[in-house]
Homo-oligomer: A and B are copies of this chain.
Amino acid sequence: MKGNLIIRNVLLEGRPCDIYIKEGIISRIGSSVGSKDGDRVFDGRGMTVLPAFVNMHTHAGMTLFRGICEDMPLKAWLDAVWKAETALDDDLVYWGTRLACLEMIRTGTVAFNDMYWRISKAAQAVEDSGMRAHLTYCFLDGGDADRQRRQREECAAEYEASGSWSDRVRFGVSIHAHYTVSDGNMLWAAGFARDRGLLIHTHISETLTENEAHLARYGVSPTRRLADMGLLGKDVIAAHTLWLDDGDVHLLGESGTTVVHNINSNLKLASGYRFRYNELRDAGANVTMGTDGAGSSNNLDLREALKTAALVQKAWRGDPASLPLDELMAMGTVNGAKALGLHSGVVEEGASADLILVDTGSSFFVPSHNFKANFIYSANSSCIDTVICDGRVIMEGGRVEGQEEVLARAREEAARFLKKINA
Protein backbone atom coordinates (compact mmCIF):
# COMPACT_ATOMS: atom_id res chain seq x y z
CA MET A 1 0.00 0.00 0.00
CA LYS A 2 1.17 3.49 -0.81
CA GLY A 3 1.57 5.66 2.31
CA ASN A 4 -0.22 8.95 2.86
CA LEU A 5 2.10 11.87 3.37
CA ILE A 6 1.79 15.53 4.29
CA ILE A 7 4.56 17.95 3.42
CA ARG A 8 4.13 21.01 5.61
CA ASN A 9 5.34 24.58 5.00
CA VAL A 10 7.15 23.93 1.75
CA LEU A 11 7.53 26.75 -0.79
CA LEU A 12 5.61 26.29 -4.06
CA GLU A 13 6.23 29.08 -6.62
CA GLY A 14 7.47 31.25 -3.75
CA ARG A 15 4.47 30.71 -1.43
CA PRO A 16 4.40 28.42 1.64
CA CYS A 17 1.84 25.62 1.51
CA ASP A 18 1.02 22.10 2.69
CA ILE A 19 0.80 19.23 0.22
CA TYR A 20 -1.36 16.21 1.03
CA ILE A 21 -0.43 13.05 -0.82
CA LYS A 22 -2.86 10.12 -0.80
CA GLU A 23 -2.10 6.77 -2.42
CA GLY A 24 0.64 8.26 -4.58
CA ILE A 25 -1.46 11.20 -5.83
CA ILE A 26 -1.32 14.87 -4.79
CA SER A 27 -4.83 15.13 -3.36
CA ARG A 28 -4.68 18.61 -1.85
CA ILE A 29 -2.47 21.70 -1.93
CA GLY A 30 -3.37 24.42 0.55
CA SER A 31 -2.67 25.98 3.91
CA SER A 32 -3.04 24.09 7.20
CA VAL A 33 -4.14 20.88 5.52
CA GLY A 34 -5.37 18.50 8.24
CA SER A 35 -3.81 15.09 8.86
CA LYS A 36 -5.25 11.76 9.98
CA ASP A 37 -3.82 9.15 12.32
CA GLY A 38 -1.15 7.16 10.54
CA ASP A 39 -0.28 9.88 8.05
CA ARG A 40 3.38 10.70 7.82
CA VAL A 41 4.07 14.41 8.35
CA PHE A 42 7.16 15.81 6.69
CA ASP A 43 8.59 19.23 7.57
CA GLY A 44 9.32 21.14 4.34
CA ARG A 45 10.43 24.39 5.99
CA GLY A 46 13.35 26.05 4.18
CA MET A 47 12.72 23.96 1.06
CA THR A 48 11.13 24.58 -2.31
CA VAL A 49 9.06 21.89 -4.01
CA LEU A 50 9.45 21.15 -7.74
CA PRO A 51 8.28 18.34 -9.99
CA ALA A 52 10.92 15.59 -10.19
CA PHE A 53 12.87 15.20 -13.42
CA VAL A 54 12.15 12.72 -16.21
CA ASN A 55 15.32 11.55 -17.98
CA MET A 56 14.19 10.67 -21.49
CA HIS A 57 17.24 8.84 -22.88
CA THR A 58 19.55 6.58 -20.92
CA HIS A 59 21.45 3.32 -21.14
CA ALA A 60 21.36 2.77 -17.39
CA GLY A 61 23.34 -0.47 -17.18
CA MET A 62 26.24 1.27 -18.94
CA THR A 63 26.97 3.27 -15.80
CA LEU A 64 29.58 0.60 -15.07
CA PHE A 65 31.39 1.77 -18.26
CA ARG A 66 31.95 5.28 -16.89
CA GLY A 67 35.52 6.43 -17.49
CA ILE A 68 36.55 3.35 -19.52
CA CYS A 69 36.82 5.13 -22.88
CA GLU A 70 37.70 8.81 -22.56
CA ASP A 71 38.31 11.28 -25.39
CA MET A 72 37.20 9.03 -28.29
CA PRO A 73 35.02 9.83 -31.32
CA LEU A 74 31.58 8.15 -31.46
CA LYS A 75 32.60 5.41 -33.95
CA ALA A 76 35.67 4.29 -31.95
CA TRP A 77 33.72 4.70 -28.73
CA LEU A 78 30.88 2.51 -30.02
CA ASP A 79 33.36 -0.16 -31.16
CA ALA A 80 34.98 -0.23 -27.70
CA VAL A 81 31.61 -0.28 -25.95
CA TRP A 82 30.12 -2.98 -28.18
CA LYS A 83 33.16 -5.14 -27.55
CA ALA A 84 32.79 -4.61 -23.81
CA GLU A 85 29.08 -5.38 -23.97
CA THR A 86 29.74 -8.95 -25.13
CA ALA A 87 30.90 -9.56 -21.53
CA LEU A 88 27.62 -8.39 -19.94
CA ASP A 89 25.77 -10.73 -17.60
CA ASP A 90 22.78 -10.51 -15.27
CA ASP A 91 24.65 -9.23 -12.22
CA LEU A 92 26.44 -6.53 -14.24
CA VAL A 93 23.14 -5.24 -15.63
CA TYR A 94 21.38 -5.43 -12.26
CA TRP A 95 24.08 -3.56 -10.29
CA GLY A 96 24.86 -1.17 -13.14
CA THR A 97 21.19 -0.22 -13.22
CA ARG A 98 21.00 0.08 -9.41
CA LEU A 99 23.99 2.44 -9.57
CA ALA A 100 22.27 4.45 -12.31
CA CYS A 101 19.05 4.62 -10.29
CA LEU A 102 20.94 5.78 -7.20
CA GLU A 103 22.61 8.55 -9.20
CA MET A 104 19.34 9.64 -10.79
CA ILE A 105 17.54 9.73 -7.46
CA ARG A 106 20.39 11.75 -5.89
CA THR A 107 20.05 14.30 -8.69
CA GLY A 108 16.26 14.56 -8.63
CA THR A 109 15.12 12.18 -11.38
CA VAL A 110 12.34 9.68 -10.61
CA ALA A 111 11.50 8.35 -14.08
CA PHE A 112 13.60 7.41 -17.07
CA ASN A 113 13.33 6.05 -20.59
CA ASP A 114 15.98 3.38 -21.12
CA MET A 115 17.49 1.37 -23.95
CA TYR A 116 19.65 -1.54 -22.86
CA TRP A 117 20.12 -5.29 -22.58
CA ARG A 118 18.67 -7.91 -20.19
CA ILE A 119 15.71 -5.76 -19.33
CA SER A 120 14.23 -8.21 -16.86
CA LYS A 121 17.27 -7.60 -14.63
CA ALA A 122 17.00 -3.86 -15.21
CA ALA A 123 13.32 -4.02 -14.26
CA GLN A 124 14.22 -5.74 -11.00
CA ALA A 125 16.77 -2.98 -10.27
CA VAL A 126 14.20 -0.25 -10.94
CA GLU A 127 11.61 -1.96 -8.74
CA ASP A 128 14.16 -2.29 -5.94
CA SER A 129 15.16 1.39 -6.26
CA GLY A 130 11.59 2.70 -5.99
CA MET A 131 11.76 4.64 -9.28
CA ARG A 132 9.70 4.55 -12.46
CA ALA A 133 11.09 3.52 -15.84
CA HIS A 134 10.16 2.76 -19.41
CA LEU A 135 12.48 -0.14 -20.26
CA THR A 136 12.75 -1.14 -23.88
CA TYR A 137 13.72 -4.39 -25.53
CA CYS A 138 16.43 -3.33 -27.98
CA PHE A 139 16.52 -4.51 -31.61
CA LEU A 140 20.04 -4.35 -33.10
CA ASP A 141 20.75 -6.94 -35.77
CA GLY A 142 23.31 -5.53 -38.21
CA GLY A 143 21.40 -7.30 -41.00
CA ASP A 144 22.05 -10.80 -39.57
CA ALA A 145 19.00 -13.01 -40.30
CA ASP A 146 19.64 -15.40 -37.41
CA ARG A 147 19.88 -12.54 -34.98
CA GLN A 148 16.69 -11.00 -36.36
CA ARG A 149 14.75 -14.19 -35.68
CA ARG A 150 16.30 -14.66 -32.24
CA GLN A 151 15.53 -11.07 -31.25
CA ARG A 152 11.86 -11.35 -32.29
CA GLU A 153 11.47 -14.47 -30.13
CA GLU A 154 13.32 -12.91 -27.24
CA CYS A 155 11.29 -9.69 -27.45
CA ALA A 156 8.02 -11.61 -27.35
CA ALA A 157 9.22 -13.70 -24.39
CA GLU A 158 10.46 -10.65 -22.45
CA TYR A 159 7.15 -8.92 -23.11
CA GLU A 160 5.26 -11.91 -21.67
CA ALA A 161 7.53 -11.89 -18.63
CA SER A 162 6.94 -8.16 -18.08
CA GLY A 163 3.36 -8.95 -17.01
CA SER A 164 4.75 -9.41 -13.50
CA TRP A 165 6.23 -5.89 -13.31
CA SER A 166 4.65 -3.30 -11.02
CA ASP A 167 2.85 -0.31 -12.55
CA ARG A 168 5.98 1.83 -12.00
CA VAL A 169 7.86 -0.07 -14.72
CA ARG A 170 6.66 -0.25 -18.32
CA PHE A 171 7.80 -2.41 -21.22
CA GLY A 172 8.63 -0.85 -24.59
CA VAL A 173 10.49 -1.55 -27.81
CA SER A 174 13.72 0.01 -29.07
CA ILE A 175 14.83 0.12 -32.65
CA HIS A 176 18.47 0.90 -31.91
CA ALA A 177 18.95 3.02 -35.04
CA HIS A 178 18.06 3.06 -38.72
CA TYR A 179 21.64 2.06 -39.57
CA THR A 180 21.93 -0.89 -37.16
CA VAL A 181 18.56 -2.60 -37.66
CA SER A 182 17.31 -4.13 -40.90
CA ASP A 183 14.16 -2.65 -42.46
CA GLY A 184 12.23 -5.84 -41.89
CA ASN A 185 13.03 -5.90 -38.22
CA MET A 186 12.27 -2.19 -37.82
CA LEU A 187 8.79 -2.77 -39.23
CA TRP A 188 8.30 -5.96 -37.22
CA ALA A 189 9.37 -4.24 -33.97
CA ALA A 190 7.10 -1.24 -34.61
CA GLY A 191 4.19 -3.54 -35.44
CA PHE A 192 4.81 -5.59 -32.29
CA ALA A 193 4.79 -2.39 -30.22
CA ARG A 194 1.73 -0.86 -31.85
CA ASP A 195 -0.36 -4.04 -31.62
CA ARG A 196 0.18 -3.89 -27.87
CA GLY A 197 0.01 -0.11 -27.26
CA LEU A 198 3.73 0.06 -26.41
CA LEU A 199 6.06 2.99 -27.08
CA ILE A 200 8.95 2.92 -29.57
CA HIS A 201 12.41 4.30 -28.67
CA THR A 202 15.15 4.98 -31.22
CA HIS A 203 18.24 7.07 -32.13
CA ILE A 204 17.91 9.51 -35.07
CA SER A 205 20.68 11.62 -36.66
CA GLU A 206 23.16 11.70 -33.80
CA THR A 207 26.17 12.36 -36.06
CA LEU A 208 26.80 14.07 -39.38
CA THR A 209 28.67 10.98 -40.64
CA GLU A 210 25.65 8.78 -40.01
CA ASN A 211 23.43 11.31 -41.81
CA GLU A 212 25.70 11.62 -44.81
CA ALA A 213 26.04 7.84 -45.19
CA HIS A 214 22.26 7.58 -45.10
CA LEU A 215 21.82 10.27 -47.72
CA ALA A 216 24.40 8.61 -49.97
CA ARG A 217 22.64 5.23 -49.67
CA TYR A 218 18.97 6.21 -49.78
CA GLY A 219 18.97 9.71 -51.27
CA VAL A 220 16.88 11.02 -48.36
CA SER A 221 17.48 11.91 -44.72
CA PRO A 222 16.98 9.30 -41.98
CA THR A 223 13.92 11.18 -40.67
CA ARG A 224 12.35 11.26 -44.13
CA ARG A 225 12.84 7.50 -44.60
CA LEU A 226 11.50 6.71 -41.11
CA ALA A 227 8.46 8.90 -41.88
CA ASP A 228 7.91 7.01 -45.14
CA MET A 229 8.08 3.72 -43.23
CA GLY A 230 5.47 4.99 -40.74
CA LEU A 231 8.03 5.04 -37.94
CA LEU A 232 7.32 8.53 -36.57
CA GLY A 233 4.40 9.46 -34.34
CA LYS A 234 3.18 10.30 -30.86
CA ASP A 235 4.26 6.82 -29.75
CA VAL A 236 7.88 7.34 -30.92
CA ILE A 237 10.71 8.72 -28.77
CA ALA A 238 13.69 9.77 -30.90
CA ALA A 239 16.98 10.50 -29.16
CA HIS A 240 19.47 13.13 -30.43
CA THR A 241 17.78 14.47 -33.66
CA LEU A 242 20.82 16.72 -33.98
CA TRP A 243 21.33 16.92 -37.72
CA LEU A 244 17.95 17.89 -39.13
CA ASP A 245 16.98 19.90 -42.18
CA ASP A 246 13.77 21.95 -42.30
CA GLY A 247 11.88 19.03 -43.83
CA ASP A 248 12.94 16.73 -40.99
CA VAL A 249 11.84 19.27 -38.39
CA HIS A 250 8.47 19.52 -40.12
CA LEU A 251 8.04 15.72 -40.19
CA LEU A 252 8.92 15.31 -36.52
CA GLY A 253 6.62 18.18 -35.55
CA GLU A 254 3.66 17.16 -37.74
CA SER A 255 3.79 13.58 -36.41
CA GLY A 256 4.00 14.77 -32.77
CA THR A 257 7.14 12.69 -32.24
CA THR A 258 8.94 13.10 -28.92
CA VAL A 259 12.56 14.18 -29.43
CA VAL A 260 15.25 13.96 -26.74
CA HIS A 261 18.13 16.43 -26.50
CA ASN A 262 21.30 14.92 -24.96
CA ILE A 263 23.62 17.90 -24.95
CA ASN A 264 26.40 16.66 -22.66
CA SER A 265 26.85 13.44 -24.61
CA ASN A 266 26.67 15.27 -27.95
CA LEU A 267 29.33 17.78 -26.85
CA LYS A 268 31.68 15.26 -25.29
CA LEU A 269 31.67 12.88 -28.26
CA ALA A 270 31.84 15.94 -30.57
CA SER A 271 28.70 14.74 -32.37
CA GLY A 272 27.34 18.28 -32.68
CA TYR A 273 25.51 20.95 -30.70
CA ARG A 274 23.15 22.88 -32.98
CA PHE A 275 20.02 21.23 -31.61
CA ARG A 276 17.10 23.03 -33.31
CA TYR A 277 15.06 23.63 -30.18
CA ASN A 278 13.01 26.63 -31.39
CA GLU A 279 12.16 25.03 -34.72
CA LEU A 280 11.20 21.65 -33.23
CA ARG A 281 9.04 23.30 -30.57
CA ASP A 282 7.32 25.54 -33.11
CA ALA A 283 6.72 22.62 -35.49
CA GLY A 284 4.87 20.71 -32.75
CA ALA A 285 7.42 18.10 -31.66
CA ASN A 286 7.45 17.21 -27.95
CA VAL A 287 10.94 18.35 -26.88
CA THR A 288 12.43 16.57 -23.87
CA MET A 289 15.81 16.14 -22.17
CA GLY A 290 18.11 13.19 -21.56
CA THR A 291 21.58 12.50 -20.24
CA ASP A 292 22.37 9.53 -22.49
CA GLY A 293 24.43 6.78 -20.80
CA ALA A 294 27.11 7.57 -18.24
CA GLY A 295 29.58 5.86 -20.55
CA SER A 296 29.50 8.95 -22.74
CA SER A 297 28.12 11.89 -20.78
CA ASN A 298 29.57 10.93 -17.91
CA ASN A 299 26.74 11.17 -15.41
CA LEU A 300 22.96 10.92 -15.15
CA ASP A 301 22.45 14.38 -13.69
CA LEU A 302 19.54 15.88 -15.62
CA ARG A 303 19.66 19.27 -13.86
CA GLU A 304 23.25 19.71 -14.99
CA ALA A 305 22.28 18.66 -18.54
CA LEU A 306 19.50 21.27 -18.54
CA LYS A 307 21.98 24.01 -17.62
CA THR A 308 24.34 23.02 -20.42
CA ALA A 309 21.45 22.79 -22.89
CA ALA A 310 20.26 26.32 -22.13
CA LEU A 311 23.77 27.81 -22.25
CA VAL A 312 24.74 26.14 -25.52
CA GLN A 313 21.38 26.94 -27.14
CA LYS A 314 21.82 30.64 -26.26
CA ALA A 315 25.38 30.62 -27.59
CA TRP A 316 24.98 28.89 -30.95
CA ARG A 317 21.85 30.86 -31.76
CA GLY A 318 23.54 34.07 -30.62
CA ASP A 319 20.45 34.87 -28.55
CA PRO A 320 20.69 35.02 -24.74
CA ALA A 321 16.90 35.01 -24.47
CA SER A 322 16.46 31.62 -26.15
CA LEU A 323 15.42 28.50 -24.20
CA PRO A 324 14.15 30.46 -21.18
CA LEU A 325 13.86 28.86 -17.75
CA ASP A 326 10.16 27.89 -17.86
CA GLU A 327 10.55 26.07 -21.18
CA LEU A 328 13.76 24.48 -19.92
CA MET A 329 12.05 23.15 -16.79
CA ALA A 330 9.19 21.76 -18.93
CA MET A 331 11.74 19.93 -21.13
CA GLY A 332 13.13 18.28 -18.01
CA THR A 333 9.81 17.38 -16.41
CA VAL A 334 6.28 17.57 -17.83
CA ASN A 335 7.18 17.02 -21.51
CA GLY A 336 8.94 13.76 -20.66
CA ALA A 337 6.11 12.68 -18.37
CA LYS A 338 3.61 13.31 -21.18
CA ALA A 339 5.61 11.15 -23.58
CA LEU A 340 5.66 8.28 -21.07
CA GLY A 341 1.94 8.58 -20.33
CA LEU A 342 2.50 9.78 -16.78
CA HIS A 343 0.44 12.47 -15.10
CA SER A 344 3.45 14.03 -13.43
CA GLY A 345 6.06 16.73 -14.07
CA VAL A 346 3.73 19.26 -12.45
CA VAL A 347 2.85 20.08 -8.84
CA GLU A 348 -0.96 20.16 -8.92
CA GLU A 349 -3.89 18.33 -7.37
CA GLY A 350 -4.59 15.06 -9.16
CA ALA A 351 -1.03 14.60 -10.42
CA SER A 352 1.27 11.80 -9.30
CA ALA A 353 3.38 12.73 -6.30
CA ASP A 354 6.72 12.67 -8.13
CA LEU A 355 8.42 15.56 -6.39
CA ILE A 356 11.74 16.95 -5.21
CA LEU A 357 12.44 19.28 -2.31
CA VAL A 358 15.28 21.72 -2.88
CA ASP A 359 17.34 22.98 0.06
CA THR A 360 18.06 26.68 -0.55
CA GLY A 361 20.50 27.05 2.36
CA SER A 362 23.75 27.28 0.36
CA SER A 363 25.51 30.29 -1.17
CA PHE A 364 24.15 29.34 -4.61
CA PHE A 365 20.69 30.54 -3.56
CA VAL A 366 21.90 33.91 -2.20
CA PRO A 367 20.56 36.36 -3.18
CA SER A 368 17.10 34.90 -3.82
CA HIS A 369 16.07 37.22 -6.68
CA ASN A 370 15.25 34.33 -9.03
CA PHE A 371 14.78 30.81 -7.64
CA LYS A 372 14.71 28.97 -10.96
CA ALA A 373 17.85 30.73 -12.19
CA ASN A 374 19.57 29.85 -8.91
CA PHE A 375 18.44 26.23 -9.13
CA ILE A 376 19.51 25.67 -12.76
CA TYR A 377 22.36 28.13 -13.39
CA SER A 378 23.95 28.60 -9.98
CA ALA A 379 23.51 25.50 -7.80
CA ASN A 380 24.70 21.97 -8.31
CA SER A 381 22.45 18.96 -7.77
CA SER A 382 23.55 18.44 -4.17
CA CYS A 383 20.87 21.04 -3.30
CA ILE A 384 18.26 18.33 -3.92
CA ASP A 385 17.48 17.16 -0.40
CA THR A 386 14.39 14.97 -0.72
CA VAL A 387 12.95 12.90 -3.55
CA ILE A 388 9.42 11.49 -3.65
CA CYS A 389 8.29 8.96 -6.24
CA ASP A 390 4.70 7.71 -6.44
CA GLY A 391 4.08 9.24 -3.00
CA ARG A 392 6.99 7.42 -1.35
CA VAL A 393 10.03 9.26 0.05
CA ILE A 394 12.99 7.57 -1.70
CA MET A 395 15.62 10.12 -0.64
CA GLU A 396 15.68 12.21 2.52
CA GLY A 397 18.41 14.60 3.65
CA GLY A 398 20.46 13.54 0.60
CA ARG A 399 20.43 9.88 1.71
CA VAL A 400 18.97 6.97 -0.21
CA GLU A 401 18.20 3.84 1.79
CA GLY A 402 20.68 1.08 0.97
CA GLN A 403 23.05 3.38 -0.95
CA GLU A 404 26.17 1.90 0.71
CA GLU A 405 25.30 -1.59 -0.53
CA VAL A 406 24.64 -0.32 -4.07
CA LEU A 407 28.00 1.50 -4.17
CA ALA A 408 29.92 -1.46 -2.73
CA ARG A 409 28.34 -4.02 -5.06
CA ALA A 410 28.71 -1.74 -8.10
CA ARG A 411 32.43 -1.32 -7.30
CA GLU A 412 32.84 -5.10 -7.11
CA GLU A 413 30.93 -5.68 -10.33
CA ALA A 414 32.95 -3.01 -12.17
CA ALA A 415 36.18 -4.72 -11.12
CA ARG A 416 34.86 -8.13 -12.18
CA PHE A 417 33.70 -6.66 -15.50
CA LEU A 418 37.12 -5.16 -16.21
CA LYS A 419 38.79 -8.54 -15.54
CA LYS A 420 36.27 -10.24 -17.82
CA ILE A 421 36.82 -7.92 -20.81
CA ASN A 422 40.58 -7.97 -20.37
CA ALA A 423 40.68 -11.77 -20.02
Contacts and interface: CB of A to CB of B under 8 A. Distances in A.
A260 interface: no
Contacts of A67: 367-370, 373-374, 378
Interface in A291-316: 294, 297-299, 301, 304, 308, 310-312, 314-316
Interface stretch (A47-55, A173-181, A266-274, A338-346): A266-274
Given A70-B373, A380-B380, A364 B103 contact: yes
A106 interface: yes
A319 interface: yes
Given A67-B367, A374-B67, A320 B103 contact: no
Interface string A25-53: 00000000000000000000000000000
Given A411-B366, A411-B367, A270 B317 contact: yes
A318 interface: yes
Contacts of A74: 320
Contacts of A237: none
Contact of A382 (B64, B297, B382, B411): B382
Number of chain copies forming the complex: 2
B363 A99 contact: yes
Contacts of A363: 99, 102-103, 106, 403, 406-407, 410
B270 A320 contact: yes
Query: Which size class do A's interface residues fall under?
Result: 35 or more
Contacts of A324: 71
A377 interface: yes
Contact of A72 (B71, B320, B366): B320
A216 interface: no
A378 B62 CA distance: 14
Nearest to A303: B380
A361 interface: yes
Given A72-B320, A318-B270, A320-B71, A64 B308 contact: no
A366 B270 contact: no
A377 B268 contact: yes
A311 B264 contact: yes
A362 interface: yes
A368 B67 CA distance: 8
A317 B273 CA distance: 11
A364 to B, nearest CB: 6
A51 B324 CA distance: 36
A183 to B, nearest CB: 31
26 contacts: A67-B369, A68-B369, A68-B370, A71-B320, A71-B321, A72-B320, A77-B320, A99-B363, A102-B363, A106-B363, A270-B319, A270-B320, A273-B315, A273-B316, A299-B379, A304-B380, A308-B311, A361-B407, A362-B407, A363-B403, A366-B407, A366-B410, A366-B411, A367-B411, A369-B414, A382-B382
Interface of A: 63-64, 66-68, 70-74, 77, 99, 102-103, 106, 264, 266-273, 294, 297-299, 301, 304, 308, 310-312, 314-321, 324-325, 361-364, 366-370, 373-374, 377-382, 403, 406-407, 410-411, 414-415, 418
